[in-house]
Amino acid sequence: SYRAAILRFDADRQPVYEADGLLVIGPDANGRQVVQAVGDHAGVARRFPDVPVEDWRGKLIAPGFVDMHVHYPQTDVIGAPADGLLPWLENYTFPHETRFHDAAYARSVADFFFDELQRNGVTTALTFATSHPASVNAAFEAAQARGLRFMTGKVLQDRNSPDGVRDETEQSLIDTETLIQRWHGVDRLGYAITPRFAPTSSPEQLRGAGALAAKYGDVWIQSHVAENHDEVRWVGELFPDASSYLGVYGDAGLLRRRAVYAHCIHLDSGDRALMRESGAAAAVCPTSNLFLGSGFFDFAAADAAGMRYGLASDVGGGTSFSPFKTMLAAYYVGREGQTKPGLSLTPSQLWWQHTAGAADGLGLGGLVGNLLPGYEADFVVLNPQATPLLARKTQQTNSLEELLFALIVLGDERVIERVHTA
């Protein structure tokens, strides 16, 4: 068990904070480490008088962060200077992704990627691979070796893509099914059917992906939607009969629970209703949207529609693996078009969106993203004194919201003192 300050969330998304808390973990029936008890030190210690206690007073235990959308093969694409999404894909991203047909290269990048997630306190991620099956095997093997809860899949892109990343319709679907059967549900791993986005998949490939999503009902689906104006216009030309960009995915059977759509910026109210009704979730990627100039996610409209959403880095369109940078960027994005007074998003809301909220969006609520009895023991130990400025600042905070805001604004990977995974 661990004695420290502890942050978790209740069913109403409200933060629950113990200044002097105790977290007891132990094996469940399958031998996986799960939370046995959590609460204030005196109360929990009375119920578990014999468990040894590691004393981390002065530190803060919080749920491991959940990244709803990231591209591990774009680890080396961060910061590529391009004039918006489509030139960025054509000039930097597609050429770089061609390298992932090489399994050894893919594994070396995957290992670096998982080390970087760990350094930043991210314990679960829904991740794009590339169109090469070798890139999927490399990521799953690296995640399995680390015991992580992790989802990825082979990118489907059979048109409007250059040689070296373009795949072939029928073979791409055979490869997807083979990878589902090999990896989905093994240890803590899950498969994600991964059409890159509507412009780079034929209608046949999208329909085939939808058929696999129906056949394997608990696999994930991930793609991009409504990120950039030029992209939205292009989809209108390619799919003139669709009701909207999001409607293209609906028509193919790709909108359901465990379907995660990155960006969701240029949606209308009909699209937002479709998101809510289908149970799909948006991955909000603020550092990417600011970097590529894509636009501003409308948090108020998403809330009004009752859409599921959570935060994501979208590296390498995104600029950082750090959840602190992503939460701060989300706060800035929320300022855009803000109509009501006060903060755009409160610090505890931002934190929820990158932990319990993101896990809920992924359909992993009850498993990860929070620290309640029965949850898998994925957590971080944060040092609020990690830098001179943070130490000075956090000593002067008078409330949980002030403490969390100081960490969001000033924090980076130096704050992540330890990461525990179940």
Length, in residues, of the chain:
422
Dihedral sign, Cα of residue 254, residue 260, residue 266, residue 267: positive
In contact, 127 and 70? CB cutoff 8 Å: yes
Q: How far is CA 383 from CA 15, 30, 62, 196, in A?
A: 19, 32, 11, 38
> Where in 106-165 is the site for ligand GUN (CB under 6 A)?
none
> Where in 184-223 is the site for ligand GUN (CB under 6 A)?
196-197
> Where in 269-308 is the site for ligand GUN (CB under 6 A)?
288
Q: Does 167 bind Fe ion (CB under 5 A)?
A: no
Encoded one letter per residue, x for contact with ligand GUN by CB under 6 A and - for no contact, window 86-105 reads ---x---x------------
> Where in 394-413 is the site for ligand GUN (CB under 6 A)?
none
- Planar angle of CA 282, 284, 287, nearest 5 degrees: 160
Size of the site for ligand GUN (CB under 6 A): 11
Query: What is the C-alpha end-to-end distance of the chain, expressed in Å?
Result: 14
Strand runs labelled E in 198-334: 220-225, 259-263, 281-284, 308-311
* H helical segments located in 184-256: 203-215, 229-238, 245-251
In contact, 64 and 378? CB cutoff 8 Å: yes
Q: How far is the CB of 175 from ligand GUN (least distance, A)?
A: 19
Q: How far is the CB of 421 from ligand GUN (least distance, A)?
A: 27
In contact, 275 and 312? CB cutoff 8 Å: no
Q: By CB under 6 A, which span of 30-38, 46-54, 85-93, 104-112 interacts with ligand GUN?
A: 85-93
**Residue 282 in tokens:** 């948006």
Closer of 59 and 196 to Fe ion (Cβ): 196
CA 110 and chain centroid, separation: 16
CA–CA distance, 282 with 349 (Å, rounded to integer): 16
Closer of 165 and 416 to ligand GUN (Cβ): 165
In contact, 288 and 265? CB cutoff 8 Å: no
**Residue 287 in tokens:** 């550092």
Tokens 């829904």 — which residue? 126
Tokens 């300050």 — which residue? 5
Closer of 34 and 262 to Fe ion (Cβ): 262
Size of the site for Fe ion (CB under 5 A): 2
- Please name which of 211, 201, 208, 128 lies closest in space to residue 166, comparing C-alpha atoms: 201
Among 132, 224, 258, 325, interactor with ligand GUN by CB under 6 A: 224
Encoded one letter per residue, x for contact with ligand GUN by CB under 6 A and - for no contact, window 23-62 reads ----------------------------------------
Q: How far is the CB of 73 from ligand GUN (least distance, A)?
A: 9
Question: Going by C-beta distance under 8 Å and a sequence separation of 6 or more, which residues neighbour residue 176?
Answer: 153, 154, 156, 193, 209, 212
Closer of 288 and 322 to ligand GUN (Cβ): 288
Q: How far is the CB of 61 from ligand GUN (least distance, A)?
A: 33
Among 66, 262, 371, 386, interactor with Fe ion by CB under 5 A: 262
In contact, 32 and 349? CB cutoff 8 Å: no
Q: How far is the CB of 100 from ligand GUN (least distance, A)?
A: 13
Q: How far is the CB of 291 from Fe ion (least distance, A)?
A: 12
Closer of 62 and 281 to ligand GUN (Cβ): 281
Among 227, 271, 298, 378, interactor with ligand GUN by CB under 6 A: 227
- By CB under 6 A, name the binding residues for ligand GUN: 71, 85, 89, 93, 196-197, 224, 227, 288, 314, 317
- By CB under 5 A, name the binding residues for Fe ion: 262, 314
